[in-house]
Amino acid sequence: MHGETYWQSEIEKCHRMNLTRNIPMLKFLDGTHGVTETGHRLFVACTNDYLGLRFHPEVIESAQKCGCGGFGSSGARLTTGAHPLANQLEKELADFKRSEAALIFNTGYMANIGLISTVGCSGDVIFSDEKNHASIIDGCKLSHAKVVIYPHRDVGRLRELLNEHRSGQSCFIITEGVFSMDGTVAPLPELLQLAESFDAHIVIDDAHALGVLGERGHGTLEYFNILPNPRIIQVGTCSKALGSLGGFVCGSKCLIQYLCQRSRPFICSTMLPSSVLAASSKSLQILQSQPERVHRLKQLSEMAKSIFSECGMTFLPEAVAILPIIVGDETRTMKIFENLYQQGIYLAAIRYPSVPLGHARLRLSVCSEYGEDEWKDVLSRIVNTIKTITGDSHGRFP
């Protein structure tokens, strides 16, 4: 079965399993509200704009001022050159992550693929957490390294696998800092001990940790009070807490220079527009000058956990911006989503293949711009809707 016949059969299979995905048409009015084509106003409770910076007037102004030089960048950096803002942003990101150097990619997805597919050579071994993001999985597949999957955050099992599979060439332990579907935090101190014992590099994807973890939002290393070193490679994105676009890799000068020479997603992609670079730079400056945004994010997160705990719904203490409500059944999850949508709350239903079958969930996320009264009302309505449809308030952690 080939071509459209096969594609249609897969679409029908999705329908039967209640796994059909539709792209919602939603125009954002501000950082937390949107309106559909039919005028239906929604409170967006699943944003990745954790600090509400994409509507910040200084961020918008920075992008607009840069736009006067033309929007597109006309080509890849190595062929047509780069706007000076690219080098400036890379220096700012490296300083922020306390690394020697940084390299910008067009998206966080491309940053993971561009890094992992380039450093993972024949004879190398990659140890990857089973719940790592699709971009990490695809990067591993595109590499020439042997890939070993270890159970989620299971340091003991990882040690056994390292003993079994560690070869004489390069070795990488790859993890997310904050896991995008679960909100769990990687056990970085223990992973670093293993990396030192087995002479491995650690690749940590801080996409959902930047602006979220640590007193000043520097990410997973700050959260655990770990100083960067050449063994640690940090991946990040400007499209979540920074409210902009683009991904990056931070590491040693040697690593960054190597990626410039060998990473095809970097070499062969047209560079981000200067307006995007300017917006990212301004967002990063605001984050560093206003750490109270990070503190408020945590306060609103604790408020949510408190309201849910009163109804028997618990989350791990470490969870901050991502609070997954695990329902399990796909049909029931969609009923909750549709009911909340009619109430004016947009809370994304996450199903296979983003999570395993039978692990469907509502991915509640927190934004520092949520108003407290409205946030409390939204949380109460979510709890009541779950109770009504499931007959229980059984939110649980995976």
Q: Is 4 a catalytic residue?
A: no
- Calculate what percentage of the chain has a pLDDT beyond 70: 97
Q: Given strand 26-28, what is the order of strands in its sheet? A: 26-28, 33-36, 41-44, 345-346
Identify the pLDDT of residue 68. Answer: 64
Q: Residue 398: is its pLDDT beyond 50?
A: no
Calculate mean pLDDT across residues 166-175. 90
Task: Report which of 238, 247, 277, 275 is spatially closest to residue 51, judged by C-alpha positions.
Answer: 238
What is the torsional sign of CA 208, 213, 217, 219? negative
Q: What is the pLDDT of residue 67?
A: 65
User: Is 376 annotated in the active site?
Assistant: no
Choosing from 83, 208, 282, 305, the catalytic residue is 208
Top pLDDT among 114 and 15 is at: 114
Is-catalytic flag, 208? yes
377 annotated active-site? no
Catalytic position from the list 90, 124, 182, 205: 205
- CB 20 within 8 Å of CB 14: yes
What is the distance between the alpha carbons of residues 94 and 32, in angstroms, rounded to a whole number?
30
pLDDT of residue 397 exceeding 60, the answer is: no
Residue 1's pLDDT band, with cuts at 50, 70 and 90, is low
**286 confidence band (pLDDT: 50, 70, 90):** very high
Alpha carbons 238 and 107: distance in angstroms, whole number: 8
Check 49, 124, 129, 176 and give the catalytic one.
176
Residue 129 — pLDDT band, cuts 50, 70, 90?
very high
Q: Name the residue among 86, 119, 65 with its Cα closest to residue 257.
A: 119
- What number of helices (H) and strands (E) belong to the chain? 15, 14
Residue 4: Cβ within 10 Å count:
8
The pLDDT assigned to 83 comes to: 86
Helix (H/G/I), strand (E/B), else coil: 287: helix
6-20, 32-46, 193-207, range with the lowest pLDDT: 6-20
Q: Which residue among the candidates 106, 180, 275, 301 is catalytic per the annotation? A: 180
Domain ranges of the chain: 25-50+291-390, 57-289
Can you say whether the dihedral through the CA atoms of 228, 288, 210, 278 is positive or negative?
negative
**Quick one: how far is CA 244 from the chain centroid?**
13
In the residue annotation, 10 being an active-site residue is answered as no
53-62, 72-81, 101-110, 203-212: which range is least confident on average? Answer: 72-81
pLDDT of 249-279, one tens digit each?
A: 999 999 999 999 999 999 999 999 999 999 9
From 56, 83, 131, 240, the catalytic residue: 240
Asked if pLDDT for residue 43 goes beyond 60, the answer is yes
- DSSP letters spanning 136-190: HHHHHHHSSSEEEEE-TT-HHHHHHHHHHH--SS-EEEEEESB-TTT--B--HHH
Q: Is 184 exposed, middle or buried (0-12, 13-18, 19+ CB in 10 A)?
A: buried
Q: How high is the pLDDT of residue 313?
A: 81
Taking alpha carbons only, the member of 283, 263, 276 closest to residue 110 is 263
Residue 317 pLDDT: 85
* 205 in active site: yes
Can you tell me the distance from the alpha carbon of 381 to that of 398, in angstroms, rounded to the nearest whole number? 23
Q: Which candidate in 56, 97, 133, 282 is catalytic? A: 133
Measuring CA to CA, which residue among 98, 139, 145, 102 is closest to residue 121? 145
Q: Is the pLDDT of residue 391 over 60?
A: yes
CA 56 → CA 30, 213, 369, 398, distances in Å?
A: 9, 21, 11, 35
pLDDT, tens only, 69-117: 678 888 899 888 888 999 999 999 999 999 999 999 999 999 999 999 9
Instruction: Identify the CA nearest to 122 among candidates 147, 98, 99.
Output: 147
CATH topology of domain 57-289: Aspartate Aminotransferase; domain 2 (3.40.640)
Q: Give the bridge partners for 233, in sequence order.
A: 203
Task: Output the DSSP codes for 326-375.
Answer: EEE-HHHHHHHHHHHHHTTEE-PEE-TTSS-TT-EEEEEE--TT--HHHH
Q: ∠ at Cα 112 (110, 115), nearest 5°?
A: 100
Active-site annotation holds for 338: no
- In this predicted structure, what is the pLDDT of residue 390? 84
Say which CATH architecture domain 25-50+291-390 belongs to. Alpha-Beta Complex (3.90)
